[in-house]
Amino acid sequence: MAAMISSFLRSGAPASRRVLPLTTLLAGCLGAALVASVAQAQQQRGRPAAATTAPAAAGQGQAMLLETAGKWQAFSSQQGRSKVCYALSKAESRLPANLKDVDGLLFVATRPGEGVRNEISFVMNFDLKEDVEHQAIIGSERFALVAKGQNMWLKNPAEEPRMLDSLRKGAGLEIKGTSKRGNPTADKYSLAGMSQTVKRAEDACK
3-state DSSP assignment of residue 82: strand
Angle at 90 between CA 117 and CA 85, to 5 degrees: 25
What is the predicted pLDDT for the residue at 62? 74
Q: Where exactly are the structural domains of the chain? A: 2-204
User: Can you tell me the distance from the alpha carbon of 78 to that of 97, in angstroms, rounded to the nearest whole number?
Assistant: 37
Which ranges of 111-185 does DSSP label H, i.e. alpha helix? 160-169
Under the banding of pLDDT at 50, 70 and 90, the label for residue 55 is very low
Residue 145 pLDDT more than 50? yes
User: Can you tell me the distance from the alpha carbon of 40 to that of 51, in angstroms, rounded to the nearest whole number?
Assistant: 9
Q: What is the mean pLDDT of the chain?
A: 77
* Average pLDDT estimate for 155-181: 95
3-state DSSP assignment of residue 7: helix
Q: Name which of 12-26, 110-124, 138-152 the model is least confident about.
A: 12-26
Enter the DSSP assignment of 98.
G
Please report how the helices 160-169 and 194-204 are oriented relative to each other, as an axis angle in degrees rounded to 10. Answer: 130
Burial 107-137 (b: 16+ CB within 10 A, else e): bbbbbeebeebbbbbbbbbbebbeeeebbbb
Under the banding of pLDDT at 50, 70 and 90, the label for residue 175 is very high
What is the predicted pLDDT for the residue at 92? 94
Q: What tens digit of pLDDT does each residue of 62-114 get?
A: 788 999 999 999 999 987 788 899 999 999 999 998 887 889 999 999 999 88
Enter the DSSP assignment of 70.
T
Residue 52 pLDDT more than 80? no
Under the banding of pLDDT at 50, 70 and 90, the label for residue 182 is very high
Q: Distance of alpha carbon 5 from its chain centroid, rounded?
A: 16
**pTM, two decimal places:** 0.72
What fold characterizes domain 2-204? Immunoglobulin-like (2.60.40)
CB-based contact 188:156 (threshold 8 Å): no
